[in-house]
Structure 1
């Protein structure tokens, strides 16, 4: 608060003679000056978490190009002014409202400190999901990040809205993932509220987390996204429904710099076995158990149970809150709390 000076006036001023023989007593009406407290230098840890849903320029959708590997346009159905996409299951989803949500979820937990090593987690949700209902509430992704004890910034793009469709949209395009990551760093800096956070966020490594149908966006981000130098690892939560060759090629190229953790149910058992075979051919070592830490070069496959587990896999896999546990296994990003706040 700004302090107002109290003007005492000439009647309260001592005479020169009186001032020489008596000590001046401070007026009870004059507030004592508090000792000046130096302001901390640079960006500081957040006292409270921050969440935002914000439209991105480099969003996954709208997407008006072709489906990769074919000459077929993504929007292959027309009904008057409406354009729609025929999913692999044969259902037609209209561009409005399924493929035109530009928003991404941004989240910074309490204690987030841009002056310490920062990790960006980029979360690709599965089919039939929305950011508000599923990523934030049902899957509790922000909460799990907050409880991981790691200095993490979350970014989650809205893919197909509440639809049984895994389409990657603009993430199919070469270089789009890199553009998305760059914009995410800028948006996170604005959410934090201090441009001093920009350097750490612009250089922060990225961990991809894909659940279920999010595998396709993650696969193309690794295959042609243009930012593999930023990708520290990938966590697949019952998410290997195809494109095993892309994950195998990425891991072979980045075996000394990145990690891969694939936890799965019977739903993706065969695809995980296929990926293991590809890694064998490329002489990439892996383990079939949960590792102690997710260091560079770690590749781990963790079987977790039957098909009934798939729907709640983000919150119940090899243990409750598996995302929280997996993120806590990444060394070098622990939040350091001072003794006063501990």
Structure 2
């Protein structure tokens, strides 16, 4: 397949689109969590916090996936570090010791209504406060979307060129993390009974750049199963094509969106080819609400940079745009 398949529907995708009528489209299913009889009603003011987690990706003292090689392969008089696949060396105390998680509950969030949890996987060279919160404005995008959604953003390697997933490499590790997230969000919300909503609400992954590696691991062995209702890759498809393709094929009731610039164009083209061989249709534009089984591979736009992609892509504020396309989760 050549890259041109990304800019127009492939033969398989065209046939799929023509055969599909409006009556065939189903909005994303909204699992019904246990009913919460909250006295507090909608949240009156936005709530944002950086919270230490016991189940955060780091610190991590385990092995690299598929091997018995320790993740921390450097020991300099007791000071431990990790060597990345590209030969960079980072120290644990500087790069892999921040166990904080950014949590955000927008104004108007209502635990009595169908809700969705957005898990954001940041890329290289990032910190939660400087980049995810302020530069990329992820919490603001969720607030401005009008979606009844909350944000969970774990810190991975701190301000480093490394995509390591840490504890999220472990089978079920992400599921344990989400259990702790439910408790932390309930505490931030202020009504402990809301833990029932946060423990059962559907989940959407949003991965930017190097965040793809952790997202792929969490999607395939994180233990969420049908709670994972969508994956959004923001110029992030640098690898793990087999895992993402299998997830798409194995759960036709969820949605998948991958937007690309030059650095990920070829990998997106390869994913399109895999989907075509498996007779899975895909679109190349986001021009309507997202429905069950929607797969979209689209250009990130013109005159757009990788660094600004979380706020400027096919539209300004692409996370906000995706959430506005989920009609089942309005505040």
TM-score, length-scaled by structure 2: 0.86
Structure 2: how far apart are the matches of 1:53 and 1:81? 29
- Is the Cα–Cα contact under 8 Å of residues 42 and 196 in structure 1 kept in the other structure? no
From 101, 104, 109, give the equivalent of 1:107: 104
Q: Deviations over 1:50-103 (max 9, x none)?
A: 011111111101111111133321111111111111112211000012001111
Residues 1:293 and 2:262 are matched in the alignment: no
SS of alignment partner, residue 310 of structure 1: coil
SS of alignment partner, residue 271 of structure 1: helix
Give the number of the structure with larger relative contact order, counting CA–CA contacts within 8 Å between residues 6 or more apart.
2
From 287, 309, 312, give the equivalent of 2:308: 312
Structure 1: how far apart are the matches of 2:126 and 2:186? 27
Residues 1:69 and 2:66 are matched in the alignment: yes
Structure 2: how far apart are the matches of 1:41 and 1:220? 35
Contiguous gaps of at least 5 residues in structure 1: 1-39, 336-342
- Which residue of 1 is the match for residue 233 of structure 2? 236
Q: What displacement does 1:203 show?
A: 1.4
Structure 2: how far apart are the matches of 1:279 and 1:171? 26
Aligned length: 295
Q: Which moved more, 1:164-173 or 1:272-281?
A: 272-281
Q: What displacement does 1:305 show?
A: 4.1
Structure 2: how far apart are the matches of 1:308 and 1:194? 42
- Which residue of 1 is the match for residue 122 of structure 2? 125
4+ runs deviating over 6 angstroms: none
TM-score, length-scaled by structure 1: 0.84
Distance change (3 Å), C-alpha of 1:287 and 1:41: closer
Structure 1: how far apart are the matches of 2:215 and 2:139? 19
- Is the Cα–Cα contact under 8 Å of residues 120 and 154 in structure 1 kept in the other structure? yes
Residues 1:145 and 2:142 are matched in the alignment: yes
Contiguous gaps of at least 5 residues in structure 2: 1-36
Q: Which moved more, 1:304-313 or 1:189-198?
A: 304-313
SS of alignment partner, residue 157 of structure 2: coil
SS of alignment partner, residue 141 of structure 2: helix
- Aligned CA-pair RMSD: 1.4
- Is the Cα–Cα contact under 8 Å of residues 43 and 196 in structure 1 kept in the other structure? no
- Which residue of 2 is the match for residue 269 of structure 1? 265
Residues 1:221 and 2:213 are matched in the alignment: no
- Which residue of 1 is the match for residue 20 of structure 2? none
Distance change (3 Å), C-alpha of 1:308 and 1:324: closer
Distance change (3 Å), C-alpha of 1:41 and 1:223: closer
- Which residue of 1 is the match for residue 170 of structure 2? 173
- Is the Cα–Cα contact under 8 Å of residues 168 and 214 in structure 2 kept in the other structure? yes
Structure 1: how far apart are the matches of 2:38 and 2:313? 42
